[in-house]
Amino acid sequence: MQTVKTVAELRAIVKTWRTEGRSIAFVPTMGNLHAGHLKLVEAAQVWAERTVVSIFVNPAQFGPGEDYENYPRTEAEDRQKLADAGVDALFLPEVAEMYGENVNTVITVKALANLHCGQYRPGHFDGVATVVGKLFNLVQPDAAFFGEKDYQQLAIIRTMARDLNMPVVIKSVSTVRESDGLAMSSRNGYLTPEQRQIAPKLYQTLCQARAGLQAGQKPYASIEQEAIVNLQKAGFQVDYFTICRASDLLPAGQDDRNMIILAAAKLGNTRLIDNISAI
């Protein structure tokens, strides 16, 4: 595995592969890799002849008081995992390499960026879209792979790629879960042992809400409210629990069929997100 830290080095590798006619897949990450990330890598390797993984903790997507400084960084372990997985290139830039001085350009995906997590983390998705757009320009992948746990992020990146005519296929990979149902996340490491026992209730509540939908329970607002109350009783501070149309993440109506349930809630200082398809 080649490990590079500069734009020039990355572009040289990509140029060589393009000259050879190789297909390229890309997996952007913020490191602290777990089985969910490695599943993305595996899917990318099946899809393309060459795979690039980036590790970059992007300051632009963290707001004031969030965990940028303390976000878990495990570079040595991550590099070993990627090498063992057979990744072709790891892009490991510093902040100064990704963001030069006097950067004035920000990518905003209107409407979508202000829903759900966007209400609680202003500017977060602008930071996500901007850095992913930059990485797409650098790697020039044929396909890029993202996990479905961050469903709103996935929708925003798909919209950005479509609207800006980016020549990249956005591929999604299903959420990888612990044996008790908790969606794998780098932030799970923040949970205390007691909180870790409570955390799976988020997914359990999503499953219960989906069962209510499939049983024809109405109105949807009652399903949402019941879920919120149950999570609060378990010790969560709920940001939202919403039944949405999968197409645009707006509130689902009684006649909608392709739906997804999105949820975000805190246990102590740890914010967990999850979702479940409700088709």
Enclosing domain of residue 148: 2-173
Q: Which one is predicted more confidently, 217 or 110?
A: 110
Residue 85 lies inside a defined structural domain of this protein: yes
Indicate which residue of 34, 37, 116, 124 is catalytic.
Answer: 37
| One domain, residues 31 and 131 | yes
pLDDT digits (tens, 9 = 90+) for 70-108: 999 999 999 999 999 999 999 999 999 999 888 999 999
* Domain end among 113, 139, 173: 173
Q: So what's the pLDDT on residue 256?
A: 86
Q: Which one is predicted more confidently, 256 or 194?
A: 194
Q: So what's the pLDDT on residue 254?
A: 86
pTM above 0.85, yes or no: yes
Q: Which one is predicted more confidently, 216 or 161?
A: 161
**How far is it, in rounded angstroms, from Cα 120 to Cα 39?**
29
Q: So what's the pLDDT on residue 78?
A: 98
Number of domains within the chain = 2
| One domain, residues 215 and 194 | yes
Residue 179 lies inside a defined structural domain of this protein: no
| One domain, residues 87 and 197 | no
243 neighbors 271 (Cβ within 8 angstroms): no
| One domain, residues 138 and 243 | no
Residue 45 lies inside a defined structural domain of this protein: yes
| One domain, residues 77 and 204 | no
Six-digit token string for 144: 């890029």
Residue 278 lies inside a defined structural domain of this protein: no
CATH number at 223 reads: 3.30.1300.10
Residue 180 lies inside a defined structural domain of this protein: no
Q: So what's the pLDDT on residue 170?
A: 98
**How far is it, in rounded angstroms, from Cα 229 to Cα 225?**
6
| One domain, residues 126 and 8 | yes
| One domain, residues 151 and 191 | no
| One domain, residues 162 and 247 | no
Q: So what's the pLDDT on residue 145?
A: 98
CATH number at 125 reads: 3.40.50.620
Residue 92 lies inside a defined structural domain of this protein: yes
| One domain, residues 130 and 48 | yes
Residue 178 lies inside a defined structural domain of this protein: no
Confidence tier at 54 by pLDDT (50, 70, 90):
very high
Residue 14 lies inside a defined structural domain of this protein: yes
pLDDT digits (tens, 9 = 90+) for 172-227: 999 999 999 999 999 999 999 999 999 999 999 999 999 999 998 889 999 999 99
**How far is it, in rounded angstroms, from Cα 213 to Cα 278?**
7
| One domain, residues 43 and 116 | yes
Known catalytic residue at 34: no
Rounded mean pLDDT of 149-156? 98
pLDDT digits (tens, 9 = 90+) for 18-43: 999 999 999 999 999 999 999 999 99
Residue 138 has pLDDT above 80, yes or no: yes
Rounded mean pLDDT of 124-129? 98
* Domain end among 129, 151, 173: 173
Q: So what's the pLDDT on residue 239?
A: 98
| One domain, residues 116 and 214 | no
* Domain end among 173, 207, 237: 173
| Mean of the per-residue pLDDT values of the chain | 96
